[in-house]
Amino acid sequence: MVRVRHLISIDDLTDEDLRAVVARGAQFSAEGPAGARPLEGDIAGIYFRRTSTRTRTAFSAGALRLGAQIVSYGPGDLQLNTGETSEDTGRVMSRMLDVLVARTADDPAEMRAWASQSRMSVVNAMSADEHPTQALTDLTTLLGQFGRLEGLRVLYVGEGNNTASALALALTRFPGVELELRTPPGYGLAERFLARAAEQARRHGGRFTERHDMAALPSGQDAVYTTRWQTTGTTKPDANWREIFAPFQVGEALWEASPKAVFLHDLPAHRGDEVTADVLDGPASIAFQQAENKMHSAMAVLEWCRRGPTGSTPGAGRSW
C-alpha cells in the first residue's frame, strides 16, 4: 500500500527528503523522465482558485509525463462554494483521487483539512504565507547551475512574500549557505519565518540576514533573486507602496559587486517595476530555465508524494 505524503510546507520535508526531491528535480531537468512512468494508473486533481501559468501547467504536464491522468478544477467548480466543508470535500476527493495539487492563496489550514485523511496526497501550489513548490524549483535551478547548494551566497531583493518565506525555509537547511534578504520597510518576512530560517542557518553553519535598505550590498553573490511587487491575490496596505518599493528595483548596478551572479525570478515579471528589462533579458538571467524547472520539480514532488524518495526504502519520508 502506498504511504500518503503531503507537501503543504517546506517543513513537511525531512532534510533527507528535501535533498532527494531537489536532486530528483535536477535529474529530470538534465535527463528527462527517460521513459519512467512511476505514476501510471494514478489520478491527479489540479485545483486552482487563483490565476497561474507556470505552476498549473507544470503540475499538469508533469503528472501526464509521469503516467498519471488529471482532473482539473477551476475556482467555481467545487461545492465548497455552496457551503460544503473543507473536511468533507477532502474526504470525498480522497476516494477518487491519488493526489490533489491546490492553489488557494489563502490560509493553509484549508489544505491541512484536506490532508486529514490517509488516502490522497495534498500538495500546496501556493498559499498566502508560503509557496513551497516554488522554493523546490529554485533549489533545483541552483543545483543545476552550480552543481551544489552548499556554500552558495544568495541575495534576495523585494517583498518578504510567500516565495521569500519558502526560499528561506529551504535554502538555510544546506551547510554554509549565506542568504541575505533586502526587503522594503514594512514588507519584510514574517517573524516566524525569520526565526526558523535564522535558527536553521546557525545549525548548518550558514548565515541568514534581513535588512530594509539597499545600502552596503554584499559582494561576491552567486545569485540575485527578485519577485514581482504585486503578489497574486494580495493588496498593499500603503497607498504609496510603489514609492516604498522603488529603491528595491533590481538593475544592472547590482552586478558591479557580484559580476558572476546569475539572476532568478519566479515570474511573471513586470519589466520596469521589480526588475529592468536589461537584467531579465540579459546574459545573467536564468529565469526562464527556472520557469521550465517548475515542471521538473513538480515531477519530483509528485513522485515523492506517491512513491517516496528515489532509491529509498518503502515507507520512507514523512506523513500524517
Looking at the predicted structure, is the pLDDT value of residue 135 above 50?
A: yes
Angle between helices 132-146 and 162-171 (to 10 degrees): 50
Q: Which residues contact 279 (CB under 8 A, 6 or more apart)?
A: 250, 251, 252, 254, 263, 285
Looking at the predicted structure, is the pLDDT value of residue 227 above 70?
A: yes
Q: Which pLDDT belongs to residue 315?
A: 32
Q: Which pLDDT belongs to residue 310?
A: 66
The answer to whether domain 132-290 has CATH 3.30.930.10 is no
Instruction: Taking residues 301-310, report their average pLDDT.
Output: 90
Q: Which pLDDT belongs to residue 320?
A: 19
Q: Which pLDDT belongs to residue 311?
A: 41
Q: Which pLDDT belongs to residue 319?
A: 27
Query: Residue 92 has which C-alpha cell?
Result: 470525498
Looking at the predicted structure, is the pLDDT value of residue 232 above 70?
A: no
Q: Which pLDDT belongs to residue 3?
A: 80
Order the strands of the 262-265 sheet from edge to edge.
Answer: 207-211, 178-182, 153-157, 223-226, 262-265
Query: Residue 120 has which C-alpha cell?
Result: 490522497
Q: Which of 30-39, 173-182, 284-293 is least confident?
A: 30-39
Percent of the chain's residues with pLDDT above 90: 82
- Exposure letters 28-57 (e unless 16+ CB within 10 A, then b): bbeeebeebeebeebbbbbbbbbebebbbe
Give the per-residue SS3 of 217-258: CCCCCCEEEECCCCCCCCCCCCCCHHHHHHHHCECHHHHCCC
> How many CB atoms within 10 Å of residue 127?
24
Fold of 10-128+295-307: Rossmann fold (3.40.50)
Q: Which of 82-91, 150-159, 306-315 is least confident?
A: 306-315
Q: Which residues contact 8 (CB under 8 A, 6 or more apart)?
A: 108, 111, 112, 115, 122, 123, 124, 127, 132
Strands 262-265 and 223-226: parallel
Instruction: Taking residues 142-164, report their average pLDDT.
Output: 98
Q: Which pLDDT belongs to residue 78?
A: 87
Q: What would the pLDDT profile of 194-221 be if each residue is shown by its tens digit?
A: 999 999 999 999 999 999 999 999 999 9
Query: Residue 109 has which C-alpha cell?
Result: 489550514
pLDDT tier for residue 233 given thresholds of 50, 70 and 90: low
Q: Which of 16-30, 68-82, 220-234 is least confident?
A: 220-234
Q: What would the pLDDT profile of 266-284 be if each residue is shown by its tens digit?
A: 999 999 999 999 999 999 9
Start-end of H helices in 69-188: 86-93, 109-114, 132-146, 162-171
DSSP state of 287: H
Q: Which residues contact 2 (CB under 8 A, 6 or more apart)?
A: 98, 306, 307
Question: Among positive and negative, which fits the CA dihedral 140, 289, 300, 135?
Answer: positive
pTM: 0.93
Q: What would the pLDDT profile of 241-256 be if each residue is shown by its tens digit?
A: 999 999 999 999 999 9
For the chain, the structural domain boundaries read 10-128+295-307, 132-290
Q: Which pLDDT belongs to residue 1?
A: 56
Closest-CA residue to 50 (of 131, 120, 109)? 131
Decide: 249 and 276 in contact? Cβ < 8 Å: yes
